[in-house]
Every structure is written in C-alpha cells, then in structure tokens.
Structure 1
Amino acid sequence: MPEKKPRILQNGHDMAWSLIPLVLACLLIAAIASQCSFSPGGPKPGPIPSFDADAAFKYDSRELGFPIRQPEIPEGWTPNSGSRSIVSGDGGGDSSNIGFITEVGRYIQLTQSDATVEALVPFIAGEPRIQTGTEQIGGRTWDVFDDGDSEAIWISDFGDARVLVTGPAPAEDFTQLATAISGVEPLQR
C-alpha cells in the first residue's frame, strides 16, 4: 500500500488537482439545472411588474383616514408597486405608497400620509435628514431633502395630508410628479 506524501511535499499543484474535479462537478450540476447563463453584454432589464395604481388609489381613499389624490401619471411611466405602511413615533400615521418606473427606466415613489413632515421624512429615508432647499411647483412649496449621497426626498404639506416624492429618478421627474399632484383634488371617499 502506498504511503501518503509527507506534508512538506504537498503544494498548490496538489490542491489545484483536487479542486478541478469539484469545480467540474459543480458546473455540470448547474448546467443540468439550467441555473447558469452567459451574457456577454451584461444583464438585460426584465419586464416591469404589473400594478393597478388606479385600484390602489381608490382603495386607499376609501380605507385611510385622510384624503388621497390621484395624479395624472406622465406618459411613458408605468406603475410597478404599491404598499401601505404605518409611520411610527410622535406625529406618525398611515401612509399610501405607489411606485412608478419612468420612461427612461428610473424608479420614483409617491407617498401620501397623515403623518407629520418630521415623522414621515426619517421613516421613508431610514434616518433623519436635513432640509437642503425648497422648490415652488404648482403654487405649493416642496421641502427638498437631498444631501447628494442618498435618494432625494421632496415633501409638501397639503393641509389635510403630506405628499412625498422620492427615488433615484432625476429632479425633472420629481418636478413632473409634483406638478401632476399639485393641482389634483382628493378622490371621493
């Protein structure tokens, strides 16, 4: 029976020859399971998930204790998500969130809430933020929270609710959405 090599004679070549069959077995299993693909140009964007924003706006207007506004969505934008959440803490409340994919493929979120600005901004941002400016759009003042390192947040107090816009979309898209919601009356309950 052959003896094992002394430890001093084992080197990287021995390890490589041991790993090659293991790597080949993993590749064979992945190929059989069809879980690998080769894409030389990088990943391709998939289809945008379908979401019925009209139904979500109407449902939230009936169920939540504050007025919900349904803006005219810019052409080429696709609603892709929606949720409701509870803003915790002092000044908290309910919130309605609808997400859109813009014409150029950027995400933007519209949040409407009865929470205060001081409670809503850190809830959406995940941390306290400092206001960096304002925008005048549609006769309303929008407080801007944009430190350049994270997603911008624009928020306006409509009296009966706060409306917030956020996401990685450019400022032009924020302006479009803020303009669209500024002149809209709340939906009937």
Structure 2
Amino acid sequence: MANSKPRILNNNRDMVWSLIPLVIACLLIAGIASQCSLSPGGPSQGPIPNFDVDAALQYDASELNFPIRNPRVPEGWTPNSGSRQSIAGEQGGDVSNVGFISDAGRYIKLTQSSASEEVLVPFAVGEARYASGTESIDGAEWIVYDQEGSEAVWVTDLGDVRLLVTGSGSTEEFTTLAAATTSAEPLTP
C-alpha cells in the first residue's frame, strides 16, 4: 500500500519530524559514550600532560652527537612534551625538542640541533622566515624571526649546537628560557 499522501505533498515540516528522532538518537549515543559535555561558562583548562624532561634530555645527550642542555626553568613551569627528529640534507641534522607550559599558561618550545640556522628555522615553523632583529641575553646573540600573525622564533648559534625558542610565550618568557638554556652546562652522555 502506498504512503498516506503522495510524495509531492511532503514538505519541510515532514523532514523536520523525520530528523528529530535521529538527532535524539545521536545525542543519546554520544552521551552514553561520554564524548560530549555541556560547559555553559566556556572551555576550561584540562590537566597538563606529565613529561620527564630530565630523562628525555639525558637520553638525547647520550644518543646525539652535539651537546644537549637541560635548562632550569622557573618554579611553576611544567614540562609537557618532547620529541626527536632529523632534518635531511647537507646542512641538516638531528633535532631535540622539549616543550613547557609557563606559569601564565603559555606554551614555549626549546629546540636544540646540529642543523644550520638556515635549515632549522623553516623546519621548526613550517615556513620561510626573515630575521627582524636581535636580542642579547647573557652574552649570547639571539636572532629574532618575528612575523605578524605568527609565533616568534629566536635562534642562537653556540658553535657546536643551535638553540631555537618558539611558542606563544611572551618576550619575558622567551628571555627566561633563552637565559636558562645558555647558562646550563651541557649534559654528559
């Protein structure tokens, strides 16, 4: 037997009444799976992942062929991430990354590498950048790559290693991490 009314007479109201049970079923499934939540005040910060920066940098110091430093960051800064990569090519090299969340809640990443500055900067930020100035911190000259609408990048060359600082941190936080890193003694392998 055919539908109670011809298909040509179906309208938007019929479509809405058909979708309501589907939407309720989707919400019910998402609620059961705990994949949605209601937060009327907006999102809240979740827990910062725990990362053992001391062990990671000590391991990198034993495996990589350039000096690795473990900066002593201020109380309240939390290490939350780390990785190791390689940059192919003549001026490339190994890369050691560690990230911190400052006490103000901003992410700052420290990269240590044997790669040249010309290769390291585009590798770290994913695009070509041009130097916009310098910062002198504890006797080390840091090249600043600051571009409108992007995170700043600071790089210094200590001869056998290049240090790079980037992230959403403030100038003061960049200065703090830069000073802590250059003043740290290289770890023994």
TM-score normalised over the length of structure 1: 0.94
In structure 1, runs of 5+ residues without a counterpart are none
Deviations 1:119-140, CA, capped at 9 Å, x for gaps = 1001001111111111111111
Contact kept, 8 Å, 1:88 with 1:119, in 2: the verdict is: no
Cross-structure match for 1:178: 178
Note the 1:135-146 alignment, pairs <5 A: 135-146=135-146
Deviates more, 1:143-152 or 1:20-29: 20-29
SS of match in other structure, 1:155: strand
Distance between the aligned counterparts of 1:93 and 1:3, measured in 2?
Answer: 70
| Aligned twin of 1:127 | 127
Percent identity, please: 62
Residues 16-165 of structure 1 aligned to structure 2 (within 5 Å): 16-165=16-165
1:68 and 1:13, CA in 2 relative to 1: closer, same or farther beyond 3 A?
A: same
Q: Which amino acid aligns with 1:114?
A: S
2:86 aligns to what SS in structure 1? strand
Q: Provide TM-score, normalisation by structure 2.
A: 0.94
Give SS of 2:129's match. Answer: coil
Unaligned runs of 5+ in 2: none
For residues 27-59 of structure 1, the C-alpha deviation after alignment (integer angstroms, 9 at most, x for no partner) is 222233333221111121111111111111211
Distance 1:2 1:70 in 2: 76
Aligned pairs, how many? Answer: 189
Q: Using the alignment, how far apart are the partners of 2:113 and 2:3 within structure 1?
A: 75
**RMSD of aligned residue pairs (Cα, Å):** 1.4
SS in 2 for 1:151: coil
